[in-house]
Amino acid sequence: MEVKPFLKWVGGKRKLIPQLEVKFPDYIKSNEFTYVEPFLGGGAMFFHLISKYNIKKAYLNDLNDKLIDCYKNVKDHSEKLIKQLKKLEKNYYSSSDKKLFYLESRDEFNNLSSSVKKSALLIFLNKTGFNGMYRENSKGEFNIPFGKMNNPTICNEELIINVSNILNDNDIVFSSKSFEDVLIDEKNVFYYLDPPYRPISKTSDFTSYTSNKFDDELQLKLKEHCNKINLKDSFVMQSNSFSEDKFFQKLYSDMKIENIYAARSISADGSKRGKAKEIIITNYES
């Protein structure tokens, strides 16, 4: 049964997992464990772990409540969600003006309260918007422009059913709150932290994928959170950007930092896409 992200997500870790997996704590390779992901996004790491390792319970969180509602609807209302997606897919491909259809759907998404329809629209906008990005303006409105995609798959029925089955067959707790409130009172928990990256330049600032900006003050609070996890005798793995100013090397001087290289495909200028240096921070020896 194939399980992988059903959404495209900026900063998704699917292609990086082989590099990350060799740095997993030895404990999770041979023991049942609790898994916590405070910045869920597209969920590539979770889907990989649930497929290969023995997770007894998972706590999946993201500050984006629309995203978490979407996961819940995939879990609890997959048939209704698929029906809505098929309707959107049919109307999109029969439309003579796909950009206008996208913009009207975006307006509808921004005006709807939590519902299966809103989650279907989120998936539709994710598949047809620019680069699969999610961004909100200061009013909390989704504002990504039309993506001009060639024949995007809007309703991947088999994948949604598979993901729904995985979510229902395992003990999973969803939440939408600050990462600071995602702390489990037990030891040997594996926390994977994939926060909005610290920008390496002013022109590469994609840290504000919601209307709340993840600035250096929040990076400092994230370190405090890592310290709390450490005190509970649990494992922390964090992904972040490589900073020439040694920001993370100074901040995490008491932890292990290793460099990896990740492909970049978010730039509108294709010539600026390539491999970028990133860091992996852990509180254990892999």
- The whole-number average pLDDT for the span 90-96 is 97
Residue type (1 letter), 118: K
118-137, pLDDT tens digit by residue? 999 999 999 999 998 999 99
How many angstroms from the chain centroid is the CA of residue 282?
Answer: 19
* Residues 6 or more apart whose Cβ sits within 8 Å of residue 207: 196, 197, 198, 199, 213, 214, 215
- The whole-number average pLDDT for the span 58-67 is 97
- The whole-number average pLDDT for the span 139-165 is 95
- The whole-number average pLDDT for the span 176-185 is 97
The pLDDT assigned to 274 comes to 63
Give per-residue burial for 123-134: e unless 16+ CB within 10 Å, then b. bbbbbbbeebbb
- The whole-number average pLDDT for the span 131-146 is 93
What pTM value is reported for the model? Answer: 0.91
- The whole-number average pLDDT for the span 143-149 is 93
Dihedrals phi, psi of 197, to nearest 5 degrees: -70, 150
Distance separating alpha carbons of residues 240 and 258, to the nearest angstrom: 11
- Residue pair 258/240 in contact (Cβ under 8 Å)? The answer is no
- Residue pair 193/235 in contact (Cβ under 8 Å)? The answer is no
Domain 14-63+177-282 shares a fold with domain 79-158: no
Of the CA atoms within 13 Å of residue 185, those in its CB half-sphere come to 0
Using alpha carbons, list the distances in angstroms from residue 23 to 26, 39, 249, 278: 9, 19, 18, 14
Confidence band, pLDDT 50/70/90 cuts, at residue 201: low
Which homologous superfamily does the CATH classification assign to the domain defined by 14-63+177-282? Vaccinia Virus protein VP39 (3.40.50.150)
Residue type (1 letter), 156: N
- Mapping DSSP onto H, E and C, the string for the chain reads CCCCCCCCCCCCCHHHHHHHHCCCCHHHHHCCEEEEECCCCCCHHHHHHHHHCCEEEEEEECCCHHHHHHHHHHHHCHHHHHHHHHHHHHHHHHCCCHHHHHHHHHHHHHHCCCCHHHHHHHHHHHHHEHHHCCCECCCCCECCCECCCCCCCCCCHHHHHHHHHHHHHCCEEEECCCHHHCCCCCCCCEEEECCCCCCCCHHHCCCCCCCCCCCHHHHHHHHHHHHHHHHCCCEEEEEEECCCCCHHHHHCCCCEEEEEEEECCCCCCHHHCCEEEEEEEECCCC
The pLDDT assigned to 2 comes to 73
The pLDDT assigned to 211 comes to 43
Tell me if the domain spanning 79-158 has CATH number 1.10.1020.10.
Answer: yes
- The whole-number average pLDDT for the span 263-286 is 73
- Strand pairing category for 275-282 and 190-193: unpaired
Q: Return the minimum-mean-pLDDT range out of 43-47, 72-76, 84-88, 274-278.
A: 274-278
The pLDDT assigned to 53 comes to 97
Q: Return the minimum-mean-pLDDT range out of 77-81, 267-271, 277-281.
A: 267-271
The pLDDT assigned to 202 comes to 52
Q: For residue 96, is pLDDT > 80? A: yes
The pLDDT assigned to 42 comes to 97
The pLDDT assigned to 263 comes to 77
Confidence band, pLDDT 50/70/90 cuts, at residue 48: very high
Q: For residue 10, is pLDDT > 90? A: no
Q: For residue 105, is pLDDT > 70? A: yes
How many angstroms from the chain centroid is the CA of residue 90?
Answer: 28
The pLDDT assigned to 264 comes to 62
- The whole-number average pLDDT for the span 165-170 is 97
209-229, pLDDT tens digit by residue? 444 578 999 999 999 999 999
Mean pLDDT, rounded, of the chain:
92
The pLDDT assigned to 121 comes to 98
- Strand pairing category for 275-282 and 235-241: antiparallel
Domain-wise residue ranges, the chain: 14-63+177-282, 79-158
